[in-house]
Amino acid sequence: MAPLPVVISETALKTFESICAQINERLGTKALSDFKKNTIKTLELIGNSPFIYKETEFDPNIRQGLIKKLSSVFYEVKPDRIEVLFFWDNRQEPMFF
């Protein structure tokens, strides 16, 4: 299977920028650089193997990829692309119960 293009939604871009700002403020530029590199690797992996990460409990079409233990990416596999819905700081309150 050929890699699918990864499309980042506006919400995903905003949540990514928010997490980046928090990392930079708390941990510095080295940690921010590492986070960005890990995010790129995760998105490339998802593009090549869209079903590698588990389905979410609230919607089987949406999957949660772990970037590092502190952050995740939520995405939907479409027939012609991967749509990144948003990024999540795993230290936040859980959004699902």
What's the pLDDT at 1? 64
Q: At what angle do helices 10-27 and 29-48 cross, to 10 degrees?
A: 150
Read off the pTM.
0.89
Nearest to 73 by CA among 15, 10, 2: 15
pLDDT in tens, 58-75: 888 899 999 988 899 999
pLDDT at position 2: 80
Ordered per-residue pLDDT tens for the chain, 97 residues:
688 999 999 999 999 999 999 999 999 999 999 999 999 999 999 999 999 999 998 888 899 999 988 899 999 999 999 999 999 998 776 555 4
Please check whether residue 84 is in contact with residue 63, taking contact to mean a CB–CB distance below 8 angstroms.
no
CATH match for 6-89 among 3.40.50.10300, 3.30.70.1450, 3.40.190.10, 3.30.2310.20: 3.30.2310.20
What is the Cα–Cα distance from 52 to 35, expressed in whole angstroms? 20
